[in-house]
Amino acid sequence: MPAVSKGDGMRGLAVFISDIRNCKSKESEVKRINKELANIRSKFKGDKALDGYSKKKYVCKLLFIFLLGHDIDFGHMEAVNLLSSNKYTEKQIGYLFISVLVNSNSDLIRLINNAIKNDLASRNSTFMNLALHCIANVGSREMAEAFASEIPRILVAGDTMDSVKQSAALCLLRLNRTSPDLVPMGEWTARVVHLLNDQHLGVVTAATSLITTLAQKSPDDFKTSVSLAVARLSRIVTSASIDLQDYTYYFVAAPWLSVKLLRLLQCYPPPEDTSLRSRLTECLETILNKAQEPPKSKKVQHSNAKNAVLFEAIALIIHHDSEPNLLVRACNQLGQFLQHRETNLRYLALESMCTLASSEFSHEAVKTHIETVINALKTERDVSVRQRAVDLLYAMCDRSNSKQIVAEMLSYLETADYSIREEIVLKVAILAEKYAVDYTWYVDTILNLIRIAGDYVSEEVWYRVIQIVINRDDVQGYAAKTVFEALQAPACHENLVKVGGYILGEFGNLIAGDPRSSPLVQFNLLHSKFHLCSVPTRALLLSAYIKFINLFPEVKGTIQDVLRSDSQLRNADVELQQRAVEYLRLSCIASTDILATVLEEMPPFPERESSILAKLKKKKGSSKLPDMDDSRKNVNGSTEHAEDAEVASKVPSHTFTDDLSVNSAPSSGASLLVDVFSDFSSAAPTEGSDEHFPRFVCKNNGIIYENQLLQIGLKSEYRQNLGRMYVFYGNKTSTQFLSFSTSVSSNDVLDSQLNVQEKPVDPLIEAGAQVQQILNIECVSDFSDAPILNIQFRYGGTLQNIAVKLPVMLNKFFQPTEMTSQDFFQRWKQLGAPQQEVQKIFKAKNQMDTDVSKAKLLGFGVALLDGVDPNPANFVGAGIIHTKTTQVGCLLRLEPNTQAQMYRLTLRTSKESVSQRLVELLSEQF
Amino acid sequence: MFIVVLCDCLSLPPTPSSHLFIHISCFVIPSFQMQFMLLFSRQGKLRLQKWYVPLSDKEKKKITRELVQTVLARKPKMCSFLEWRDLKIVYKRYASLYFCCAIEDQDNELITLEIIHRYVELLDKYFGSVCELDIIFNFEKAYFILDEFLLGGEAQETSKKNVLKAIEQADLLQENIDFQMRLFAGVMVPNMASEASGLFQN
């Protein structure tokens, strides 16, 4: 029988809660609630003034109703009234209501802030705490504006009670997270650091969290916290378990504080001071030693708290990545946990080892646990633990164990949980490619993948195998033979049919000498799958057939018969029908020479980063993946990719070069195999017209817009302050576009900064055809907006309107400038005024690659200056922006930090608006 | 974590103003904190929700629905951690109630598990062998205790004694009304056996 021994009861509330609990159905609950809401509303509106108790009760009921998941649209005022009550419980309920139901109604916020201000000034610690809790819970900008300067004073004032200090510290932390710009740094920071020495461990606990957050913001200001934290930690880990009294938790000394201190230390590199450093090492060793001691209690809380500290210590060891001894010890400790009977510990050990695997000091030590990890994969009953095991196998894979790991992952795949299959497929595909010495192994592995988990093999994976086969002539014959054999299976996955169709179409000739795989046999085999396949696969097979006609004249008749059949020529699907008609026609009228030219073997694909890797990164967040240092990096940046795509877009969408096109998203008729190299997946249907805009910052050509009907490609060139843009409108449909017209519009500001003059465009675009329009551009002065291209046409009776943001940006008018190191620094110094420099620190959105960055900066328009920055990883560039009225010199510096996956970009120009705009444009590109 | 101090010690020509690029900077990484805490029953009823990040009501409801479903579907012996969206979920069941916290990727799972336990201990001490019904009928107290213990998603005071002292002091401040008419004697529904069973079943 529950009994509330404390607090005051609100009988009406208890009755109401019971009523709700007695409701048999959702409807009766809603009915009861509506009745109550009506009652409360009438009470609040009534003439009789409510006493504090009733007000509190009703506000509490409203809160209860809200927490049940119903909307509340009144009562805020009454709650605010409660704030100024001098009865504690009324005030408390008022604050709770405000904390849960924040309302951005500005009048109310003012009243709330007023009440908070009064309570903060009350010098009553209970009231002050309520007010601080409310600020921390709401954490809104308005509150930050009102209190961000007041709270630091409370925090460091000598006469503040400990409990208020604790609340103030965490309150400040919350405001710093939500509105970091409003929390001022100042003289109080030094005093905050010294809270680490406070004798009240509760204050230290709260302060450590705050300092950790602030140290991330400005590490210099909080550097002194390192020595204090080490000292504090050292005292905790060496203390007898009872020393800390109530801060000892199940015989573990201050576990929360220890974890927080270890976390604070992860904001800094290993201490340079040797005595400090050895003291920290001692602490870490002590923590590792304690893990080996017999437990002081059988309670799980004891081992959890102890291991929480241990795992945080290991995280610090990995972060420092400088003490091989500690790293190996950490690895051995985790190795023990791998076989622990606690599932939680096994999970964490697998997770933690993943990061250890990427350290050069411990990679080998991690590898020794391979059998245990494989065993975990086979025997763990919890899918989330198995998932960790897969991650770890992936992280510990190298050339020496790749075959074993890939084989284990493949066999696990057969029984793997559906939710993680796709990820395993991606991982297997990546490992197989990365560590393939012998590409026949690679081909076998991918075909196995398709056989075992065909449904989870994404386009990227099977595109990739085709790319690799096409690029490596040593494996083509083997691939043809293997797919031929795999296709013999009575039931094979459609993805296999796709790969098979493509590879036999290209390389079927390599195995045609064997009578068992003669051209006719190959054709019959493929065609036996035809009727079971979806439209895109059938389209691909039709392309394979026409390639057969070219490769093997002896089956021409058979194939022509197939193409001629009603099921092809009169197929209900337009794409299939069109292919059948055109291929048939082509095979009849073209001479052998023409046929051979049209259907020539696919040229090798440019070597670039695997799109599979990009996909996996997208799924997992790159931080978790070990660096895949293979040679297939996107050396030329995305620039070249887009050019390929553009070349493709100029060919009407039904020619033979794009015979994979129908396999991609249905709306992107021209997306080709080349597209899979890109770091964004093949063009998805976009109605939003700005989506492609940022891609044009560093390049001039590409597709700016595409939907089911229309594709718009661009080619542009700029010289000084003038530019010319060629716009290509491609009709993707089989119907004419009528009354086609375009206009360019700018807002008033932009109008005076940029002139865009358009040449006339043909009002009619035939089905499948493309027309071109020229735009002449003149930059009058620097600008930040972009002109809009409005397109209007009639398609099948309906009027279509499309607006596209034209990628004309300020940096297009750059002229690169080479200069010596000396010149550079001289100019850099001249541009030293604060408004001339704009700096931005941002997280890398793409993989950090020197060559890619270089390509992007060159594409941006500046000259890259080698040997200016002593750190070769940094980039320094210079250029001049030409406008009609002035020329603006620009200096640029980009500092990548691969470890943190961050960049710092600094621009100095003689004009603030130019610096600002260039930073905005460029920072989005990495 | 992973704050990196970039020292660009440029060895520039020895001119007096050669400190062009020299300043130590850091890269700000979003810090770790608890994102939210949810308490819900085996039947999937939400009993307490505390959000430490700003989200719209709609998002909160969506997250709650998805998470309750995910956690309830898990079997008893499974591990207490799971990846969910970009977050890590740490949960533990006490009798009829699930306590569930969302933390960030780099955060410490085990210490979060013990945050849950300490909170349960606090509730248990305050209510005296706490059960789900206590939390239903005195939800406001459950929130107050949580605020004393955790603020902004961080542990504020980990000493059990100090937290309870703060709450008791507050209780002493209450006006002296209706001491007798508290309790829901006669109001309580007797058929909810599971909700009335203590969270600590020793």
DSSP per residue over A727-773, as a string?
EEEEE-SSS-EEEEEEEEE--HHHHHHEEEEE----S-B-TT-EEEE
Tell me the average pLDDT across A355-366: 87
Nearest to A352 by CA among A327, A376, A377: A327
Q: Is residue A388 a part of any domain in this protein?
A: no
pLDDT of A602 reads 81
For residue A707, give the H/E element and its range: none
Are residues A757 and A829 located together in one domain of the fold? no
pLDDT of A185 reads 81
* Distance, CA of A101 to CA of A64 (rounded, Å): 11
Q: How far is A683 from chain B (nearest CA, A)?
A: 24
Q: How far is B173 from chain A (nearest CA, A)?
A: 6
Between the alpha carbon of residue A846 and those of residues A50, A642, B31, B138, the distances in Å are 60, 16, 21, 50
Q: What residues of chain A lie within 8 A of the CB of B52, using their CB?
A: 174
* Distance, CA of A576 to CA of A562 (rounded, Å): 13
Handedness of CA A257, A258, A261, A262 (dihedral sign): negative
Are residues A787 and A839 located together in one domain of the fold? no
Instruction: Tell me which chain A residue has its CA closest to the CA of residue B112.
Output: A308
- The verdict on a CB contact (< 8 Å) between A266 and B3 is yes
Nearest to A617 by CA among A846, A409, A785, A796: A846
Q: What residues of chain B lie within 8 A of the CB of A259, using their CB?
A: 108, 111
Q: What residues of chain A lie within 8 A of the CB of B6, using their CB?
A: 895, 897, 904
* Distance, CA of A434 to CA of A437 (rounded, Å): 9
Are residues A861 and A919 located together in one domain of the fold? yes
Nearest to A369 by CA among A399, A395, A406, A403: A395
Tell me the average pLDDT across A798-803: 84
* Distance, CA of A199 to CA of A307 (rounded, Å): 26
Q: Is residue A350 a part of any domain in this protein?
A: no
With a cut of 60, say whether residue A917 has pLDDT above it. Answer: yes
Instruction: Express each pLDDT in A22-80 by its tens digit.
Output: 988 989 999 999 999 999 999 888 877 888 888 899 999 999 999 888 888 888 888 99
Other C-beta atoms within 10 Å of A747: how many?
Answer: 11
A362 versus B170: the higher-pLDDT residue is A362
For residue A893, give the H/E element and its range: strand A887-897
Which residue is listed with tokens 């705050």? A210
Contacts of A539 (CB under 8 A, 6+ apart): A575, A576, A579, A659, A662, A663
* Distance, CA of A662 to CA of A671 (rounded, Å): 8
Between the alpha carbon of residue A794 and those of residues A318, A771, B145, the distances in Å are 63, 16, 66
Instruction: Tell me which chain B residue has its CA closest to the CA of residue A207.
Output: B156
DSSP per residue over A519-542, as a string?
HHHHHHHHHHHHTTS-HHHHHHHH
Contact A308, B114 (CB under 8 A): yes
Q: What residues of chain B lie within 8 A of the CB of A222, using their CB?
A: none
* Distance, CA of A467 to CA of A503 (rounded, Å): 10
Half-sphere exposure at residue A389, Cβ-oriented, CA atoms within 13 angstroms: 29
With a cut of 70, say whether residue A417 has pLDDT above it. Answer: yes
Q: Is residue A589 a part of any domain in this protein?
A: yes
Q: What residues of chain A lie within 8 A of the CB of B147, using their CB?
A: 133, 137
Domain covering B34-186, topology? Beta-Lactamase (3.30.450)
Contact B113, B152 (CB under 8 A): no
Q: What residues of chain A lie within 8 A of the CB of B36, using their CB?
A: none
Pick from A6, A133, A897: CB nearest B6: A897
Q: Which of A4-18, A655-669, A822-836 is most confident? A: A822-836
Q: Which one-letter amino acid corresponds to residue A245? A: Q
Q: How far is B119 from chain A (nearest CA, A)?
A: 13
> Best residue in A183, A236, A316, A344 to probe B by mutation, most B CBs within 10 Å?
A344
* Distance, CA of A662 to CA of A20 (rounded, Å): 57
Instruction: Express each pLDDT in A503-514 by its tens digit.
Output: 999 999 999 888
pLDDT of A640 reads 35
Are residues A882 and A795 located together in one domain of the fold? no
Q: What residues of chain A lie within 8 A of the CB of B33, using their CB?
A: 177
Q: Which one-letter amino acid corresponds to residue B187? A: V
Q: How far is B33 from chain A (nearest CA, A)?
A: 9
Are residues A817 and A797 located together in one domain of the fold? no
Instruction: Tell me which chain B residue has its CA closest to the CA of residue A63.
Output: B140
The values of phi and psi at residue A343, to 5°, are -60, -40
Pick from B33, B108, B157: CB nearest A311: B108
* Distance, CA of A10 to CA of B196 (rounded, Å): 20
Q: How far is B29 from chain A (nearest CA, A)?
A: 7
Tell me the average pLDDT across A484-490: 90
Instruction: Tell me which chain A residue has its CA closest to the CA of residue B13.
Output: A822
Long-range contacts at A374-380 (CB < 8 A, ≥ 24 apart): A374/A404, A374/A408, A376/A338, A376/A346, A376/A350, A377/A408, A377/A409, A377/A412, A378/A412, A380/A343, A380/A346
- The verdict on a CB contact (< 8 Å) between A266 and B1 is yes
Q: In this predicted structure, which of A113-127, A139-153, A267-281, B3-17 has the lowest mean pLDDT?
A: B3-17
Instruction: Express each pLDDT in A1-16 by its tens digit.
Output: 333 444 456 788 899 9
With a cut of 60, say whether residue A154 has pLDDT above it. Answer: yes
* Distance, CA of A106 to CA of A597 (rounded, Å): 72
- A528 confidence band (pLDDT: 50, 70, 90): very high
Tell me the average pLDDT across A628-636: 34
Q: What residues of chain B lie within 8 A of the CB of A53, using their CB?
A: 175, 177
| DSSP, res A476 | H
Q: Is A531 exposed, middle or buried (0-12, 13-18, 19+ CB in 10 A)?
A: exposed
Q: Is residue A818 a part of any domain in this protein?
A: yes
Beta strands (DSSP E) in A257-318 are none
Tokens of B196: 């009335």
Q: How far is B55 from chain A (nearest CA, A)?
A: 11
- A241 confidence band (pLDDT: 50, 70, 90): low
Are residues A482 and A572 located together in one domain of the fold? yes
Q: How far is A4 from chain B (nearest CA, A)?
A: 6
- The verdict on a CB contact (< 8 Å) between B196 and A311 is no
Are residues A773 and A833 located together in one domain of the fold? no
Instruction: Express each pLDDT in A668-699 by its tens digit.
Output: 333 333 333 333 333 333 344 567 788 888 88
Q: What residues of chain A lie within 8 A of the CB of B192, using their CB?
A: 21
Contact A743, A804 (CB under 8 A): no
Exposure letters B58-83 (e unless 16+ CB within 10 A, then b):
eebeebbeebbeebeebeeebbbbbe
B175: left (phi over 0), alpha (psi -120 to 50) or beta: beta
Per-residue H/E/C for A393-459? HHHHCCCCCHHHHHHHHHHHHCCCCHHHHHHHHHHHHHHHHHCCCCHHHHHHHHHHHHHHHHHHCCH
Given A567, A599, A631, the domain boundary residue is A599
- The verdict on a CB contact (< 8 Å) between A173 and B154 is yes
Q: How far is B44 from chain A (nearest CA, A)?
A: 12
Instruction: Express each pLDDT in A324-351 by its tens digit.
Output: 899 999 999 999 999 998 999 999 999 9
Pick from A88, A218, A245: CB nearest B170: A88
The percent of residues in chain A predicted with pLDDT above 90, rounded, is: 33
- The verdict on a CB contact (< 8 Å) between A96 and B143 is yes
* Distance, CA of A800 to CA of A803 (rounded, Å): 10
Which domain, by its residues, includes A738?
A: 693-808
Say what the pTM is: 0.67
The percent of residues in chain A predicted with pLDDT above 70, rounded, is: 90
- The verdict on a CB contact (< 8 Å) between B29 and A216 is yes
Instruction: Express each pLDDT in A608-617 by its tens digit.
Output: 666 777 777 7
Q: What residues of chain B lie within 8 A of the CB of A868, using their CB?
A: none
Q: Is A589 exposed, middle or buried (0-12, 13-18, 19+ CB in 10 A)?
A: exposed
Pick from B61, B130, B188: CB nearest A18: B188
ipTM: 0.80
Are residues A479 and A590 located together in one domain of the fold? yes
Are residues A478 and A594 located together in one domain of the fold? yes
- The verdict on a CB contact (< 8 Å) between A347 and B181 is no
For residue A715, give the H/E element and its range: strand A710-719
Other C-beta atoms within 10 Å of B8: how many?
Answer: 18
Are residues A801 and A915 located together in one domain of the fold? no
Per-residue H/E/C for A573-608? CHHHHHHHHHHHHHHHHCCHHHHHHHCCCCCCCCCC
For residue A713, give the H/E element and its range: strand A710-719
Given A808, A840, A867, the domain boundary residue is A808
Instruction: Express each pLDDT in A880-905 by its tens digit.
Output: 898 888 888 889 999 888 888 888 89
Q: What residues of chain B lie within 8 A of the CB of A219, using their CB?
A: 3, 5, 24, 26
pLDDT of B146 reads 95
- The verdict on a CB contact (< 8 Å) between A206 and B26 is no
Other C-beta atoms within 10 Å of A731: how many?
Answer: 24
Give every residue of chain B whose pLDDT is below 70, as ranges: 1-32, 174-194, 201-202
Contacts of A162 (CB under 8 A, 6+ apart): A200, A202, A203
Nearest to A461 by CA among A432, A420, A491: A432
Contact A715, A700 (CB under 8 A): yes
- Residues annotated within the binding site of A are 11-12, 43, 53, 57-61
Nearest to B142 by CA among B152, B151, B130: B130
- The verdict on a CB contact (< 8 Å) between B5 and A3 is no
Contact A349, A340 (CB under 8 A): yes
Are residues A902 and A802 located together in one domain of the fold? no
Are residues A844 and A731 located together in one domain of the fold? no
* Distance, CA of A334 to CA of A522 (rounded, Å): 54
- A353 confidence band (pLDDT: 50, 70, 90): very high
Q: What residues of chain A lie within 8 A of the CB of B187, using their CB?
A: 14-15, 18
- The verdict on a CB contact (< 8 Å) between A869 and B28 is no
pLDDT of A613 reads 76
Radius of gyration (Cα) for chain A, nearest Å?
Answer: 34
Given A759, A778, A808, the domain boundary residue is A808
Beta strands (DSSP E) in chain B are 5-6, 25-26, 34-41, 46-51, 81-84, 87-94, 97-103, 150-151, 154-155
Domain boundaries, chain B: 34-186
Domains in chain A, number: 3
* Distance, CA of A686 to CA of A790 (rounded, Å): 16
Q: Which one-letter amino acid corresponds to residue A404? A: Q
Q: Is residue A480 a part of any domain in this protein?
A: yes
pLDDT of A846 reads 81
Q: How far is A300 from chain B (nearest CA, A)?
A: 10
Tokens of A804: 């596209």
Pick from A209, A249, A319: CB nearest B114: A249
B102 versus A384: the higher-pLDDT residue is B102
> Best residue in B2, B65, B115, B118 to probe A by mutation, most A CBs within 10 Å?
B2
pLDDT of A866 reads 83
Tell me the average pLDDT across A290-295: 91
- The verdict on a CB contact (< 8 Å) between A216 and B152 is no
Q: Is residue A782 a part of any domain in this protein?
A: yes
